[in-house]
Chain A
Amino acid sequence: MNNNSSNKMKTTLLVILIACLVLLTGCWGKREVEELAPLLGVGFDLGEKPGTFLITPQIASPKKGDSSGAETEDRTFSIQASSAREATEKISKISNRTPFMGSLRVIIIGEDLAKAGGFNDLLDFAQRFGEFRRTMYVVLAKGTAQDILNLELRSGTIPVLAIKNSIESGDEISSFPTVRLGHYLTIMGTEITAPIFPVIEGVTSGKGIEYKAEEDKAGEIWVKGAGVLRGDRLDDLLTDEETKGYMWLENYVVNRFINTVENDESVIFGGRVIKSNTKYKVKEKNGKMELQYNIKASISVDEVLGLEKELPGSEWAELMNEAEKSFAEAIRKECESSLKKQRELGLDFLGIGRHIEQKNSAYWKTIKDQWEEELQDFPISLEIKVINLHAGTSNSSAVNSKEGRQE
């Protein structure tokens, strides 16, 4: 009797285990990779009719390469749709494959749509649907996103991959912010800080770049400046200088190329920021609270322009001290232009409100309700310290003798 019951139990457990094997394999609802249309980028512009969008997907179309392995081509087209899901349906019909969102790297928002506002409705799909990743980049386009995605690049790279590569190597020059979808959503959640996006621009020959041959219309894409948003509406664009100031103040500078051309000095320095750190503190000064930024940067001097004569050791050392001051002045100008812009716009894109809240929450509670007005004249000071690490492989510059110079 006991043996019988034990056998029954074993049989039941065996059946259960076999059923587990069938049910827990995870193959339900699988899709073969050939049936998918991997989305690399998507552009959003204003549609023809009110409430519609012009959506431009850029889909990867892998092909077999010759010696260097597989290559990627793109398939780019535009459709009118009133929602992201409607667009998905149309993309499926056109490409005969189901769009796969997990490969999406860049979302481009066209200038007109950004100015009109309302693109958060489209981004809702990207932050909600499980296939998407919050690590995708969001950028604004100067002009339309459609034009950017249809641009033929001289390098032969797919536009969206070129944008992705530019952003991912952005730390090398630290002249524009990197904004991932997750970061944008976090900034929105602060309810104080105005979101900011980098701006991409298509550049063709004769318009910011020169090519010898003019016969084709191929161009390049670069990231230049940034756009500041009020809600999900583009309020204004920041210049290159203002964006660089933003990068300093937000402690986003990793490496930078910098020069002192704008300083109006006889000797001009060019260099590279090797290391940078920005801290801030809220302190009381003359009975008023103020925010003080402390920027410390280590720079290597890579070029010296306008040197009249070769300098002996002591004078060279003095000049390098001057270089530190000149670089500090250049950084100050960038920061001040950014602060000035913030005051003009009345938008806290530098997150100053959050900085005050972080450092002195009790004081923040007293001003947060009228922060927009406070922002106009809230005292902010800058302490900038530059350390000149070295001047490359030589000391003083090679200069022709005075007699030999052309006056």
Chain B
Amino acid sequence: MERISPHQFMILGAAVLMGTTFLPVAWVVTEASGRDGWMSVLPGFAVAIPYGLMVLSFLKRYPQKNLLQISETMFGKWIGKMIGILYISITGYFGGLLLAQIGDIYQASIMPLTPLGVFYLGVLLLVLYLVSSGIEVMARFTELIFPLITIFLVLNLVLSIPRMEQGELLPILSEGFTPLFKGGLKLAPFAMEYMLFLAVLLPFLPTGKQEFIQLKTGLWRAVFLVGFLNMLVVLMQIMVFGPHETIRLAYGLLLLGKMVEVSRTVAGVESLFLGIWLGANVIKVSAFFFMTTWGLETVFNLRGLKWRLALGAVFLGIAFGFTRESYLLQEIALVDDYLILPFASVWILTLWGVSRWKKGAGA
């Protein structure tokens, strides 16, 4: 089985964790925590660290297995299969929704007349190519694209500095710490999406002692990088739009891009930003496609191009089922909050707990 290096693990992890979280993160967290929402971002993403370490801890004992296979070993065949079916359903459905979101973002912002199918099909073909080529190609693609995403994100934020309003961050902590907790909880599903990816990435990771330490460091770095970048995104949106507008705007970062003006001559650079962010979308959808593919292979032994094409058709079907923005955003939030968060947090924690208990009992 092909394996990726610890460096690729870090970049791929950061890219999947980041995905397009920089688009909704500001309104999600500001709605929950108000003006202080930016403070919830890092703790919210940091949830990925303990959970990531739990997942990585299986690497030593089960070097060739993903979490679905480990679940079958731990809980027995039928419970393992049920978890697998749930995993496939959630990742497949959510992947389709993310595909739909790509069409929504582009149609609502810069390409209103382009048919949605063009976005869906174009991105899906790229996703099929990446996933079919294997995890290493996906990792290399990410190594190329993720730095660009980061640079353009930072550039967008820096160029938005002239648009900052006076005193929008003040007062700080006027409502105490409770809203911060709510905000962090709202972001926890983002971390759990990454955990679902890590669950099937496990067999592709190196197992050497030195590399294991590097994997753990990579996990920390990826989480802090993404958490920090998203925190900057939220900070800037609150400082430019104020908390009320930040909540109201569906894709505030796109509007920041639209407001960029350099010396009153260079404007309209948002298309450039959106072009780069397409890469982020592709990585995220590819990750969910990858998860579902491996879920199908593990649980039902369905492998090969024809099943991938079938899965592609399912993704397309889901995307075409959510062409209305209001329903789509609501559905993504529902799946995040009520499926991904409880499923991943309970599954991984239970698996880790049972594993520790069995290990203890065995000893």
Contacts and interface: CB of A to CB of B under 8 A. Distances in A.
Interface in A23-39: 23-24, 26, 28-29, 31
B65 interface: no
Contacts of B241: 182, 185-186, 189
A134 B255 contact: yes
Contact of B245 (A135, A185, A358): A185
B326 interface: no
B64 to A, nearest CB: 23
Contact of B122 (A20, A102, A182): A20
Contacts of A168: 264
A120 interface: no
B242 A29 contact: no
A13 B115 CA distance: 24
A9 B165 CA distance: 55
Interface in B151-187: 163, 165-168, 170-171, 174
Contacts of A135: 163, 258-259, 261, 267
Interface in A217-235: none
A12 B259 contact: no
A112 interface: no
Contact of B242 (A31, A189, A355): A189
Contacts of B115: 28
Given A135-B259, A189-B245, A9 B113 contact: no
A1 interface: no
A106 to B, nearest CB: 14
A12 B304 CA distance: 13
Contacts of B133: 13
B89 to A, nearest CB: 26
A133 B259 contact: yes
Nearest to A13: B129
A305 B298 CA distance: 91
Interface string A157-172: 0000000000010000
Interface in A183-219: 183, 185-186, 188-191
Contact of B125 (A9, A16, A364): A16
B111 A28 contact: yes
A90 interface: no
Interface string B259-280: 1010010011000000000000
A60 B330 CA distance: 41
Interface string B216-249: 0000000000000000000000001111110010
A17 B242 contact: no
Given A13-B132, A182-B240, A29 B163 contact: no
B128 A182 contact: no
Contact of B118 (A12, A23, A134, A354): A23
A361 interface: yes
B259 A358 contact: no
A12 B261 CA distance: 44
A133 B258 contact: yes
Residues of B contacting A: mostly: helix
B346 interface: no
B350 interface: no
Contact of B244 (A29, A183, A190, A359): A190
A186 B168 contact: yes
Contacts of B334: none
A190 B242 contact: yes
Interface residues of A, number: 38
B122 A24 contact: yes
Nearest to A365: B174
Contact of A20 (B126, B171, B255): B126
Given A19-B125, A20-B122, A358-B170, A12 B305 contact: yes
A239 B112 CA distance: 44
A102 B255 CA distance: 13
Contacts of B111: 26, 28-29
B129 A130 contact: no
B323 to A, nearest CB: 16
Nearest to B123: A24
A96 interface: no
Nearest to B271: A26
A240 interface: no
A1 to B, nearest CB: 14
A29 B261 contact: no
A72 interface: no
A98 to B, nearest CB: 11
Contacts of B245: 182, 185-186, 189
B335 interface: no
Interface string B114-131: 110010011001101100
A355 to B, nearest CB: 8
Nearest to B108: A130
Interface string A4-22: 0000010011001101100
B259 A182 contact: yes
A133 B125 contact: no
Given A24-B122, A28-B113, A357-B171, A191 B244 contact: yes
Nearest to B308: A12
A26 B125 CA distance: 15
A251 interface: yes
A191 B264 CA distance: 31
Interface string A253-293: 00000000000000000000000000000000000000000
A191 B174 CA distance: 17
Interface string A118-149: 00000000000010011100000000000000
Contact of B129 (A16, A183, A188, A358): A16
Given A24-B122, A189-B242, A191-B244, A354 B167 contact: yes
Nearest to B165: A186
A182 B163 contact: yes
18 contacts: A9-B305, A12-B132, A16-B125, A20-B122, A20-B125, A23-B118, A28-B111, A29-B111, A29-B114, A135-B258, A182-B240, A182-B241, A186-B241, A186-B242, A186-B245, A189-B243, A189-B248, A361-B174
Given A9-B305, A190-B242, 12 more contacts: A19-B121, A20-B122, A23-B118, A23-B122, A26-B114, A31-B113, A102-B268, A133-B258, A133-B267, A182-B240, A185-B245, A361-B171
Interface of A: 9, 12-13, 16-17, 19-20, 23-24, 26, 28-29, 31, 102, 130, 133-135, 168, 182-183, 185-186, 188-191, 250-251, 354-355, 357-362, 364
Task: Return the 9 tightest CB-CB contacts between A and B, nearest first.
Answer: A29-B113, A189-B244, A23-B122, A361-B174, A358-B170, A361-B171, A28-B114, A186-B242, A24-B122
